[in-house]
């Protein structure tokens, strides 16, 4: 008898119990109270079923029944299966015949194809005494008509799709024997498995363990992230030691631990597997975590070493070097363990890593990873901190304290020479990247609000925080947002491009406003928007960040997009934009200067006018007056992260209008409006030249008043790559994937 619970479910109620002033900085802690109703399943099966037979020369037929009880609170129910240890029923105890030959008689098995003995299913499948197959055992559900032979193949008996307070499943067993079978007891063992059905994960509250992130499908992960409020604290456990950790979806779009890793490394064979740890194969650690009673540390750059200072926290007061006892439920400021780099990447020897390398494994729970190297790549400390006000030039936090909510970085110092150094005044966090034989990349954080990428000694003990691994994306169907292109590795991008049919239209959303856009892989090999950008610029201090917009650092817009009720537009070189409303071009090319040719958009929005942007707005600059040098690409834009304005007028494959036109065999302006390009004759701001001209910016300014871009006009003319597009009039924007 077995009962298996493969899926752990939870019903969680979150209650913010309060906050406490922890220092003069008013650092606050959120205490989360949860109630979990775990999924359970109950299975009751009789241990023995007897069927008594009294054979005659004409045979004896008899039946017996058993009741199985199954109950579960699993919302998608259960599946009950049965398997026989053997499809041949064997007599218990041997028999010695008159010639002193010892044998164990059996009841014949089911006839297999090509076999010369046994009985076929057709002969067997009957519930009547006369037709039932001789010298065979069989079973059936009480609701069925015919008996079936025992089988070693797993057979489904019942499945449900809802909770059950106790279902009764009745099984009938039968046998028919004659006097050719010796007297005795014949038996086999039946195995019953009751398994809770899989429940799709749709919320952070459906998770209990960190490792469950590794099992999420792409759509489930999207649902979980959608259920999380940015900056709110949640708690999950590490199933390796049941320790709970605070986690949060932060402003870079990733889910981070907001508490230092406190896992004590265990030197036990195969304790670490890909199911519980961020490793590709089972790992047996060569050294365990040192406790507070063991201060030895070999300072070997290649062997794993880690140190547990005990259940202590940083007080939260800047420059306070005295650890404090943590509260009962733990704390964001728990010191956690200190790991050298070899221990952080879950290896026994890293001496072969002598140059710049990203090691794609770690001591983090499965489904989580160490952050990558510095820069503005997706899973990095620097990219995270930029979202919270890190000035990449001064390396100072200009708008947020790193030790406060929701980051809760702990100034836990580092372990060196038998001591914790600089507790309360600095900390260093590990990344997955080695620099050379002595150093690895990491992040330095100080009480002076300095934060920068740093080279960390490989052998010293540093803190670890993990970030949830994003799902592998190898197909265009794996992507939901335009910004997902920014997350692709080189191999993933190759696979995504391979999965796309040239010219076929796909749709992705912009996560800044949830608006949907058509995209296509076009003849130049690049992926383009085949619909005008319609993003309304908003006036906000921290809305535009590298995680959602094609910018290297935070951008604060002075002016929001003007609506149809506000027709003010300054003819100056500043960031301004205009939304003409939810209207589409009617697709008819005419030659006049009137605001005509629009229609209400239907399901097909390829010809949506989108918004009109000045060059400064398109380049997310408050003004471009400071750009004194021309003929070079401006490497930022109002496009979604992972996308950019097309390159200037050069003939190359990097995503320029000229190369796209050349590779698409475009000869006239009317060719541009057809599938798969779908360019719009949208004119410029205030409907000027609507239906007679289409104007699109590139990322290259040409003169004091003009910018390179695409100019399409008379349907019989060739499309032009022009530098006569005014920088302040407001034209359309299309983006190309980086």
pLDDT tens figures, 626-675: 776 667 788 899 999 999 999 886 656 678 888 898 888 887 777 889 99
Report the C-alpha gap between 254 and 470 in whole angstroms.
Answer: 8
What confidence score (pLDDT) does residue 24 get?
Answer: 39
Average pLDDT over residues 51-78: 86
Q: CB neighbours of 226 closer than 8 A, spacing ≥ 6?
A: none
Residue 84's region, left for phi above 0, alpha for psi from -120 to 50, else beta, is: beta
Structure tokens at 186: 């014949």
Two structure tokens written together for 88 = 């041949």
Q: Round the average pLDDT of the chain to a whole number and report it.
A: 82
Q: How many CB atoms lie within 10 A of CB 287?
A: 16
Alpha-carbon 295 to chain mean position: 39
Q: b vs e for 76-104, b when ≥16 Cβ sit within 10 Å of the residue's Cβ?
A: bbbbbbbbbeebbbebeeeeeeeeeeeee
Which pLDDT band, with edges at 50, 70 and 90, does 52 fall under?
Answer: confident
Beta strands of 131-251 (E only): which ranges? 136-141, 148-149, 155-159, 164-177, 186-187, 190-196, 234-238, 243-249
**Digit-coded pLDDT (tens) for 107-117:** 655 433 333 34
- In this prediction, residue 423 has a pLDDT band, given cuts at 50, 70 and 90, of very high
How many whole angstroms separate alpha carbon 725 and alpha carbon 729?
Answer: 8
Nearest to 196 by CA among 220, 155, 161: 161
Distance, in Å, from the CA atom of 350 to the CA atom of 367, rounded to the nearest integer, reads 22
pLDDT value of position 652: 63
Give pLDDT, residue 430: 94
Distances (CA, A) of 234 to 21, 37, 85, 352: 20, 17, 46, 39
Find which of 56-70, 289-303, 615-629, 671-685 is predicted with most confidence, using mean pLDDT.
671-685
**Going by DSSP bridges, is the β-strand pair 190-196/78-84 parallel, antiparallel, or unpaired?**
antiparallel
Q: What is the pLDDT of residue 114?
A: 37
- What is residue 569's DSSP assignment? -
CA angle 414, 420, 422 (to 5 degrees): 70
Distance CA 240, CA 210 (A): 10
3-state secondary structure of 79: strand
**Contact (CB, 8 A) for 420 and 309:** yes
The answer to whether residue 307 scores a pLDDT higher than 60 is yes
**Digit-coded pLDDT (tens) for 468-485:** 988 778 899 988 899 989
Task: Write the DSSP assignment of 399-459 as a string of letters.
Answer: S--TTSTTT-----BEEETTEEESTTTEEEEEEEEE-SSSEEEEEEEETTSBEEEEEEESS
pLDDT for residue 19: 29
- What number is the average pLDDT over the span 607-614? 94
Mean pLDDT along residues 291-296: 75
Task: Provide the CATH number for the domain formed by 1-52+60-85+121-199 in this structure.
Answer: 2.60.40
The number of helix segments (H) and strand segments (E) in the chain equals: 8, 43
In the block, tokens 């000027």 appear at 688
Q: Determine the pLDDT at residue 38.
A: 67
Q: Is pLDDT larger for residue 262 or for residue 121?
A: 262
Q: Give me 548's structure tokens.
A: 């959602």
Over residues 309-365, the pLDDT tens digits come to: 999 999 888 888 899 988 755 689 999 999 999 999 999 999 998 888 888 899 999
- Tell me whether strands 439-446 and 451-457 are parallel, antiparallel or unpaired: antiparallel
Any idea where the domains of the chain sit in the sequence? 1-52+60-85+121-199, 232-470
Sign of CA dihedral 480, 485, 486, 487: positive
| Per-residue model confidence (pLDDT) at position 687 | 57
SS3 651: coil
* Burial 367-376, CB ≥16 within 10 A → b, else e: bbbbbbbbeb
In contact, 694 and 720? CB cutoff 8 Å: no
Q: Are 547 and 252 a contacting pair, CB within 8 Å?
A: yes
Bigger pLDDT: 452 vs 462? 462
Structure letter (DSSP) for residue 111? P
Nearest to 336 by CA among 469, 456, 428: 428
The confidence score (pLDDT) of residue 376 equals 46
Least confident of 268-277, 294-303, 616-625: 294-303
Q: How far is the CA of 611 from the CAs of 32, 647, 685, 734, in angstroms?
A: 43, 20, 9, 11
pLDDT at position 306: 94
Is the pLDDT at 541 greater than 80, yes or no? no
Rounded distance between C-alpha atoms, residue 66 and residue 174, angstroms: 12
Q: What is the DSSP letter of 210?
A: G
Answer whether 114's CB lies under 8 Å from 104's CB: no
Which residue from 633, 607, 631 is spatially nearest to 619, judged by alpha carbons? 633
pLDDT band at 244 (very low <50, low <70, confident <90, very high): very high
Task: Note the residue count of the chain.
Answer: 738
Q: What is the pLDDT of residue 132?
A: 64
DSSP one-letter code for 381: H
Are 733 and 640 a contacting pair, CB within 8 Å?
Answer: no
Share of the chain above pLDDT 90, in %: 37
Confidence of residue 17 (pLDDT cuts 50, 70, 90): very low
Is-contact 446 402, C-beta < 8 A?
Answer: no
Burial grade of 322 (CB within 10 A; 0-12, 13-18, 19 or more): exposed
Q: Which of 48-57, 352-361, 493-502 has the highest mean pLDDT?
A: 493-502
Place of tokens 């969680």: 12
Q: State which H helix or E strand residue 341 sits in.
A: helix 341-344
Residue identified by tokens 């239906």 is: 691
How many C-alpha atoms does 669 have within 13 Å on its Cβ side?
22
| Alpha-carbon span 129 to 175, nearest angstrom | 10
Beta bridge partners of 136: 176
Q: What is the mean pLDDT of residues 217-227?
A: 86
Has this prediction a pTM greater than 0.75?
Answer: no
């Amino acid at each position: 008898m077995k009962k298996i619970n493969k899926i752990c479910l939870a019903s969680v109620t979150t209650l913010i119990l309060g906050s406490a002033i922890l220092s003069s900085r008013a650092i606050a802690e959120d205490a989360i109270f949860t109630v979990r109703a775990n999924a359970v399943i109950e299975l009751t099966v009789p241990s023995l079923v007897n069927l008594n037979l009294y054979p005659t020369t004409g045979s004896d037929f008899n039946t017996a029944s058993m009741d199985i009880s199954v109950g579960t609170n699993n919302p998608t129910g259960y599946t009950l299966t049965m398997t026989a240890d053997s499809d041949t029923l064997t007599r218990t105890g041997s028999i010695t015949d008159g010639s002193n030959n010892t044998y164990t008689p059996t009841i014949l098995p089911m006839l297999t194809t090509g076999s010369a003995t046994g009985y076929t299913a057709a002969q067997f499948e009957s519930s009547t005494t006369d037709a039932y197959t001789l010298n065979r055992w069989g079973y059936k559900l009480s609701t069925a008509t015919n008996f079936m032979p025992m089988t070693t193949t797993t057979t489904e008996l019942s499945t449900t799709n809802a909770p059950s307070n106790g279902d009764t499943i009745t099984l009938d067993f039968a046998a028919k024997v004659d006097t050719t079978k010796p007297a005795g007891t014949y038996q086999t063992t039946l195995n019953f498995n009751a398994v809770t059905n899989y429940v799709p994960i749709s919320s952070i509250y459906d998770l209990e363990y960190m490792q469950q992130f590794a099992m999420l499908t792409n759509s489930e992960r999207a649902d979980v992230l959608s259920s999380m409020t940015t900056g709110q604290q949640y708690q999950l456990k590490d199933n390796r030691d049941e320790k709970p950790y605070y986690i949060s979806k932060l402003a870079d779009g990733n889910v981070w631990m907001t508490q230092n890793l406190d896992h004590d490394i265990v030197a036990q064979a195969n304790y670490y597997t890909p199911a519980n740890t961020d490793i590709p194969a089972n790992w047996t650690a060569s050294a365990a975590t040192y406790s507070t009673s063991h201060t030895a540390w070999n300072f070997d750059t290649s062997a794993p070493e880690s140190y547990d200072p005990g259940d202590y926290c940083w007080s939260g007061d800047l420059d306070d070097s005295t650890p404090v006892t943590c509260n009962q439920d733990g704390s964001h400021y728990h010191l956690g363990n200190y790991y050298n780099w070899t221990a952080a990447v879950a290896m026994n020897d890293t001496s072969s890593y002598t140059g710049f390398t990203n090691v794609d494994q770690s001591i983090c729970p499965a489904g989580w990873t160490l952050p990558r190297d510095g820069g503005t790549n997706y899973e990095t400390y620097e990219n995270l901190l930029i979202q919270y006000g890190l000035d990449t030039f001064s390396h100072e936090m200009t708008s947020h304290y790193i030790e406060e909510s929701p980051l809760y970085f702990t100034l836990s110092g580092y372990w060196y020479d038998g001591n914790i150094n600089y507790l309360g005044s600095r900390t260093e966090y590990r990344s997955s990247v080695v620099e050379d034989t002595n150093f690895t990349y990491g992040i330095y954080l100080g009480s002076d609000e300095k934060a920068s990428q740093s080279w960390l000694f490989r052998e010293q003990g540093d803190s670890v925080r993990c970030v949830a691994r994003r799902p592998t994306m190898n197909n265009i169907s794996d992507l939901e947002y335009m910004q997902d292109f920014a997350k692709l590795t080189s191999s993933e991008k190759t696979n995504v491009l391979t999965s796309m049919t040239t010219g076929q239209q796909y749709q992705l959303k912009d996560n800044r406003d949830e608006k949907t856009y058509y995209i296509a892989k076009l003849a130049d090999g690049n992926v383009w928007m085949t619909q005008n950008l319609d993003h309304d610029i908003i006036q906000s201090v921290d809305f535009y960040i590298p995680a959602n917009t094609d910018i290297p650092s935070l951008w604060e817009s002075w002016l929001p997009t003007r609506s149809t009720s506000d027709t003010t537009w300054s003819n100056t070189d500043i960031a301004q934009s205009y939304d003409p409303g939810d209207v589409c071009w009617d697709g008819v090319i005419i030659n006049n200067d009137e605001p005509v040719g629009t229609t209400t958009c239907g399901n097909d929005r390829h010809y949506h006018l989108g918004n009109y942007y000045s060059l400064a707005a398109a380049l997310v600059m408050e003004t471009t007056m400071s750009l004194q040098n021309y003929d070079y690409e401006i490497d930022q834009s109002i496009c979604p992260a992972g996308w950019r304005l097309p390159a200037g007028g050069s003939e190359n494959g990097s995503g320029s209008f000229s190369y796209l036109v050349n590779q698409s065999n475009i000869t006239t302006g009317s060719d541009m409006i057809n599938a798969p390009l779908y360019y719009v004759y949208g004119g410029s701001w205030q409907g000027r030249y609507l239906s007679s001209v289409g104007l699109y910016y590139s990322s290259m300014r040409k003169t004091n008043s003009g910018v390179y871009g695409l100019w399409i006009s008379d349907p019989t003319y060739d499309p032009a790559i022009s530098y006569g597009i005014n920088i302040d009039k407001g034209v359309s924007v299309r983006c190309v994937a980086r």
